[in-house]
Amino acid sequence: MELRLDGKVALVTGASRGIGRAIAGAMADAGASVMLSSRKADDLDVAVAEIGGDTASFAANAGAPDAAAACVAATVERFGSVDVLVNNAATNPYMGAAIDIDLPRWDKTFEVNLRGLFVWSQEAWRASMKERGGAIVNIASIGGLSSGGGIGVYNTTKAAVIHLTKVLASELGHGVRVNAIAPGLVKTDMARALWEGNEEAFGRHLPTGRLGEPADIANAALFLASDAASWITGQTLVVDGGALIAASR
């Protein structure tokens, strides 16, 4: 099956590296016009140059509502619409027992991972999807389906993302499909503290025998954004190499 997004416009947050960069590249390769967004303009310039195709960038803090509105507006101005929104940007400023977190880092995690995701969805809906329809893909985590691991506050935001995905899928009805992806441990810079130095050991415990690569998540996002998934909404696709089933053995 060849998944195509010809004639579609995709906006990807957290797109300068890692999973977001891979998703942006996959969607551009599938024929979409793609707006890449993240905080650092220089990193975005590099990503756009590497991806090529009909791409552009807009630097924006994913947790700032005004920045989200400006980026969505710039996407519509540049490409005419927002047909696909990928809410990938996230932060994890704290590792340790959830009960010990300070409120500023609690607030920051929720500001970016949950409130930010909602604001970007709201702006895309108001600016384009309410009239034209579209697809939203939220990047959650298998941490939102389990507990433990020393990143409980981050995982709590991802559990909320999974529930919000269902809420938005129900509310936005016929025109906009809303789905989520729950990745397992993927080899990204953000997750480096979790896997670096332990990659081989972690991989041995997975049924697939390896950790995830950004391309594994990008392939799932492309599927959910494409017409091949036209009868799928409100769902969370687990892409974890079998980590959840391994944990239950």
pLDDT digits (tens, 9 = 90+) for 210-238: 889 999 999 999 999 999 999 999 999 99
Q: CA torsion 164→167→171→175, rounded to 10°?
A: 60
Q: What is the mean pLDDT of the chain?
A: 94
Cα–Cα distances in angstroms (integers) from residue 120 to residues 51, 53, 157, in the given order: 23, 24, 16
Instruction: Estimate to the nearest angstrom the gap between the alpha carbon of 94 and the chain centroid.
Output: 20
pTM of the complete model beyond 0.85: yes
Check residue 195 and give its pLDDT.
54
Please, are residues 180 and 224 in contact by the beta-carbon 8 Å criterion? no
* Per-residue pLDDT at 133 exceeds 60: yes
- Torsions phi, psi for 226 (to 5 deg): -90, 170
Rounded to whole angstroms, how far apart are CA atoms 223 and 4?
A: 9
Check residue 27 and give its pLDDT.
98
Rounded to whole angstroms, how far apart are CA atoms 154 and 94?
A: 8
Mean pLDDT of 44-59: 98
Active site residues: 154
Check residue 99 and give its pLDDT.
96
Check residue 194 and give its pLDDT.
61
- Decide yes or no: CATH 3.40.50.720 for domain 9-192+212-239: yes
Rounded to whole angstroms, how far apart are CA atoms 13 and 131?
A: 22
Q: Residue 102's pLDDT band (boundaries 50, 70, 90)?
A: very high
* Per-residue pLDDT at 190 exceeds 80: no
Quick one: which H or E segment has residue 157? Answer: helix 152-172
Q: Which residues pair with 58 in a beta bridge?
A: 37
